[in-house]
Structure 1
């Protein structure tokens, strides 16, 4: 009995010590970064939110902005996930506002009023701590005090983001032992593997703090000019968008090279296909697209097109309908080529993209009250927030991502490559082909996966913890088009179980 009582006291004191340590750790986050309220939201936050700047270059005053959502589950055990949107030049608030952030944003019916925020039942913060990072400097709310500092590229962006992570974890040391993952979509198909490589090299070099990096995920991500460029023709034919005759004529004229036509005949056939599919929304061929002359002439940053609602699964989710242009695809054919990658405002000579409605995010993030609440610089200091900026000059200098993926997966890092199967911007046919090209043994043969007892897509598993997954009926930004299904595979994959 005495021994039992002694053991009980031992466990009791250890429990007290653990509880006190946990209290200290939870309080370790910088309280100056804590968000206490948000304009447009009147409820109670389901978890703590933090935001602010981390300086990655003291000399030039290069500051990257982050918004950190603490997990609604078990913050000290749940993974920490970094989220990056693409472009290049597009803000990761795209993911926060329109995809998997803690809120659904409802456009106000009264002109001039801010959007209303409602809790998102499919927020990725339900199972993970998630950091939304605006990168590189000049994008979103990130900035540099030196204007010329906006000349950047893949390698500089990866280096700065790595510096950000090391400094961020120094400020939030309570999360250092959590599994850490890097994720993103579209041009983040370049950001994610290049940053993952920097992190892996930093761990090998013993850079402090040492991150508990476990793997990465890429959604509809540009990867390699040959695979991505050649994905277009089989996608359009397989989806029934072009005739058998045109498909066969193009095959014959191009000899399998659709991304860099070497003959006038090939170019002519590709242009013919472009004319046939011109009125489709390349980000989701099932969705409508605005093509009025007025829409074509909207100024950048004034992309105010009608908002609407749509039914998503069992939940009506208020969402501004947005048809965006991220990544580099048709009619530009190859998403990733060496050299300067123009941003969308640069490509379109200052005109906005015809299929864009970003009124909700633009109104909210350009509100002085919102900027104050999230500890961001005001518009008078860093300019207006835009979904995709033309302020940066971006150079694709990392080459094909296939070598990065092979190196990372060979080291044992987990990777999932997922694709909305109705995206014509970065078609799943290219992502499926390059993952197969790695030559890994198939460990989980192509099969359906399910959400709420309904077939949600298909998955194929490979050696070295690599998976390729499709999301049925989804476009370029999977968590926006299919939030319930996206949450399902995200939470299952992070947990390490079968999808």
Structure 2
């Protein structure tokens, strides 16, 4: 039987087929991360990869990523891209302090490397999750041509799309997996603009075809009128300002608390900002790490224009146990031409109310950089959670029209908000989601975790969902990791909250 002509013909067919249709290449082994300093466990619960993808050969403009494969079923589970905001904030923010595979603890010696333990609520439990430093100049991403650091929304989106196309060429085994984009804060601009590039590529038949299914964004900067007009009413509703102050500013400003207001209204708004200057704007329930005397100088005696001082939006206060955030919505500070000033670059000051020691200590260690295949400090400089290297212009407008476009095309969209965030208050987000005009299919109701109310949700047709997380701040996976993992895994699975 083995020597029959049929057998030899079968071998010939198999050989020809293997030449015409070679098996998909495996993930690039040179990007495999076999261990990282500070983690002393036997093995990672899944494979990790990290490295650079060059999006422009001439300038060697390269974007850095870290990928943690799903601990469940990497061949079938979704691939999810994670983006932090800023603009100028490294996505290692989310990796170190949010939904990454590790929990970071201070080292035993001052200045020593932190200790890493496995994160039981890592989003890699149910998905292949990739953290991308974008644009070039942010985090570990870089360019040999420093003019590339002058950028904006549209260039950032185009580069991210180039990155994705090249990344899926490097990892062809994931081309058929469902693909989602996720992030928080200024990712509210990054994600819709990147999605626009991805969808246009799909419609044009660009290869490799990305199996894009939708996106989810936390406390997203979306539309300045909705986002910033909600600040004063939210502060009043949370009991942060008196009813007398609220009624006074409301009457003077005629219910409009942002934009082209007169001097009397602006004076009232500034008084509200001053009253709240010592709060943690990212989570009003959490402590703020700052020295009041320095805070007084920043607000009262700054030589910056008033638009740079008001609200204290650049305080970016965060828990003492954590770091400086760099993920605020800086368009409160944007100039009329859309230019977004990078706060660390204003007078060379670091951000008040902040502490980024754990992340900086770990990511500036050359042993860590070698382990994750990142360039050395001598080549690309120190890692910064929030950088002033880039010169960024907000060259798009409201994102509401983007959301309407993609939901109308059938893509799934989840917009979620920590309900104690003073930076992008949830009422403004809830209002613009409603303004899209879709029919409500799941009326406002609580959702539960562990038998307790974890927040509230409202569902609309065209696969659009709004969700709040009770007690969470601007960075939901940081403040409420269990609840964040719960809604994330349920949403990916298509389950009701």
So what's the TM-score if we normalise by structure 2?
A: 0.89
SS at match of 2:361: helix
Distance across 1 between alignment mates of 2:202 and 2:329: 32
Shift of 1:257: 2.0
Matched, 1:396 2:394: yes
Tell me, in whole angstroms, the C-alpha distance in 2 between the residues paired with 1:84 and 1:483. Answer: 17
Is this contact kept in 2: 1:92–1:140, CA < 8 A?
Answer: yes
**Per-residue displacement from partner, 1:336-383 (whole Å, max 9, x unpaired)?**
97610112213x422111111111100000000000000000000000
Which residue in 2 is equivalent to 1:322?
A: 323
**Structure 2 partner of 1:350:** 348
Distance 1:336 1:465, change over 3 A: farther
Q: 2:33 aligns with which of 32, 35, 42?
A: 35
SS of match in other structure, 1:64: strand
Distance 1:406 1:33 in 2: 38
Mapped to 2, the partners of 1:33 and 1:403 lie a distance apart of 38
Q: Which moved more, 1:49-58 or 1:248-257?
A: 248-257
The 8 Å contact of residues 281 and 323 in structure 1, kept in 2 or not, is answered as no
| Gap regions ≥5 residues in structure 2 | 1-22, 299-316
Q: 1:98 aligns to what?
A: 97
CA deviation after TM superposition for structure 1 residue 188, in Å: 0.5
The match for 2:465 is 467
Distance 1:427 1:109 in 2: 38
Determine helix, strand or coil for the equivalent of 1:143. coil
Task: Tell me how far apart the structure 2 counterparts of residues 326 and 345 of structure 1 sit (CA, whole Å).
Answer: 12
Q: Is the 8 A contact 1:283 1:325 kept in 2?
A: no
Correspondence list, 1:157-196, <5 A: 157-196=156-195
Match of residue 359 from structure 1: 357
Change (3 A) 1:306 1:229: closer
- Counterpart for residue 480 of structure 1: 478
**What are the Cα deviations for residues 11-48 of structure 1, in whole angstroms up to 9, with x where unaligned?**
xxxxxxxxxxxxx65x7100010011100011110000
The one of 372, 385, 398 equivalent to 2:383 is 385
TM-score by length of 1: 0.88
1:31-70 aligned at under 5 Å gives the runs 31-43=29-41, 44-70=43-69
Secondary structure of the structure 1 residue equivalent to 2:348: coil
Correspondence 1:429-448 to 2 at 5 A? 429-448=427-446
For the residues of structure 2 that align with 1:494 and 1:335, how far apart are their CA atoms?
Answer: 35
Aligned residue for 1:4? Answer: none
Q: CA RMSD in A?
A: 2.1
Kept after mapping to 2: 8 A contact 1:284/1:423 = yes
Deviation at 1:261, TM superposition (A): 4.2
Number of aligned residue pairs: give it: 456
In 2: Cα distance, 1:190 partner to 1:364 partner: 29
What residue in structure 1 maps to residue 267 of structure 2?
268
Find the aligned partners of 1:270 and 1:278 in 2 and give their Cα distance: 12
Residues 337, 79 of structure 1: CA spacing in aligned structure 2 closer, same or farther, 3 A cutoff?
farther
Alignment of 1:116 with 2:115, yes or no, is yes
- Secondary structure in 2 matching 1:159: helix
How far has the Cα of 1:322 moved from its partner? 3.2
1: CA distance between counterparts of 2:57 and 2:431? 43
Q: Which residue of 2 aligns with 1:374?
A: 372
Partner of 1:77: 76
Counterpart CA distance in 2 for 1:424 and 1:335 is 19
Secondary structure in 1 matching 2:33:
coil
Deviation at 1:231? 1.0
Aligned to 1:493: 491
Q: 3-state DSSP class of the match of 2:154?
A: helix
CA distance in 1, matches of 2:202, 2:318: 48
